[in-house]
Amino acid sequence: MAGVTARSGGAFVAFRNPNFKWHWFSTLASFSAMQMQGIALGILGWEMSHSYTVVGILQAAFALPMAILALPGGALVDRMEKRRVIAFSQALLAILGVATAALIQADLITIVLLFAGGLVQGAMFSVNGPARMALLTEMVRPAELSAAISMQNIAMNSTRVIAPAIAGLFIAFVSIQGAYYLTAVLYVVCVAMILQVPRSFGHVDRPKAPLLSDIRAGVGYVARDRMLRSLMLSGLSVALFIMPYQVMLPGFAGSLGHSELLGPMVAVSGVGGLVGAFTVASIGQHPRKPYLQFLFGLTAGAALIALGLLSTRFGLPGAFVSLGVVGAASMSYMTLNQTMLMTEAAAQFRGRVTSISMLTFSAMPLMALPLGVLADSIGGAGAFAVQGSIVLCVIIVLAFMNRAHTFARRTVTPPPAPSEVEVASPQESRV
């Protein structure tokens, strides 16, 4: 409807757009499958090895192709029809789910094969993530962008509540391969839904250039924009020091003597994430988003320390309360970060800006490996307390490195984005 603003429609204004609905439900199906695979992988990896380190290595498999392919993936997305990119990547993941289930059923699965499957997943996510975000920005108005991104994060986080429970039921009452077969079905549903969205046209009028030039233009654009640089560093801090707590949960649940409660633990964290995403969606055009992000980062660090201390003192109740707060604070932080990134980035660069952001998040599973080694040495609770202390220090340092941005009364608006020709010009590239 013409003239509708994000403020008049509140958090749900984006759902007035039928194409956004198909995109949203496609995301729901896709991330449900991914969350279920994560639960199945964590349980399978732990049962096969009983090692935090091995589970961390399996998670690192997802990050390696993202670290290598994120930049070319984002450049490809900016020059290709995004709907087809999403459909292809999800179809390939459906095939991978069937193949993994068959290997488990035939008793042929190994840690090496699970690692290889993680590489394929990471490669597909390198194009799927930027394609989804760039397509979303094409189908909603700028005033609706904050609400749309928040709703997108709600879709992703609602799967952290529902999908672990479904995966746990399938693993307990059917089989672990049954959970993998179900993920394949969900990926097929995702493909069917995203194909209901009209073709994207953001790539049509872009000048043809070598892929390497597109990558260089995107990196140069982010490097020259102070606001985008600051937001990327903030996103990197989440990836390195906050989110890796998730990959330690399988071993942490086992160390408390309740491996069967991994699903509920992830679900509680997901409920917290839903609360955080709804909170940010309700904020709308708040003028002090950087300062709110700073406060949410401090809260996440304190909650991680509490997770280590309260789980030791009060057991499962302390762990569940802390996980809820960690989920809410970390999701609020990430949603604000993504919203500001997409708001500040020029439309023709959003695929590449998203890919650079994903490149920072590829550090999350890689950081899980040293944290896994630490947890093997001092226990999961102690590792969480150390992690939270590091988070507090990093968030405070980043805030005071860019005080004008973090503590400004109003969010600073950067100068208009340069054209791709200007960014990629020889004179600029020599600076």
CB 276 within 8 A of CB 329: yes
Q: Which residue would you say has higher pLDDT here, 264 or 124?
A: 124
Question: Model pTM?
Answer: 0.69
* Least confident span in 108-112, 178-182, 378-382: 378-382
- pLDDT for the residue numbered 374: 86
Burial of residue 157, with CB atoms counted within 10 A of its CB: 0-12 exposed, 13-18 middle, 19 or more buried: buried
| Contact partners, residue 190, CB within 8 Å, separation at least 6 | 26, 27, 29, 30, 33, 90
Average pLDDT over residues 238-267: 78
- pLDDT interval class at 363 (50, 70, 90): low
Please give the mean pLDDT across all residues of the chain: 80
Query: Which pLDDT band holds residue 425 (cuts at 50, 70, 90)?
Result: very low
**Shortest CA distance to 307 belongs to which of 256, 260, 273?**
256
Q: Where are the beta strands (DSSP E) in 233-292?
A: none
To the nearest 10 degrees (0 to 180), the angle between helices 350-361 and 111-139 is 150
12-414: CATH class: mainly alpha
d(CA 243, CA 46): 19
Most confident of 177-186, 260-269, 392-401: 177-186
Which of the 8 DSSP states describes residue 107?
Answer: T
Is there a contact between 372 and 86 (Cβ–Cβ < 8 Å)? no
Structure confidence at residue 424 (pLDDT): 41
**How far is Cα 360 from Cα 386, in angstroms, rounded to an integer?**
21
Q: Provide the pLDDT for residue 8.
A: 45
In sign, the C-alpha dihedral spanning 18, 23, 28, 33 is positive
Angle at 203 between CA 200 and CA 206, to 5 degrees: 155
pLDDT for the residue 256: 77
Q: Is the pLDDT of residue 351 over 50?
A: yes
Q: How many CB atoms lie within 10 A of CB 420?
A: 22
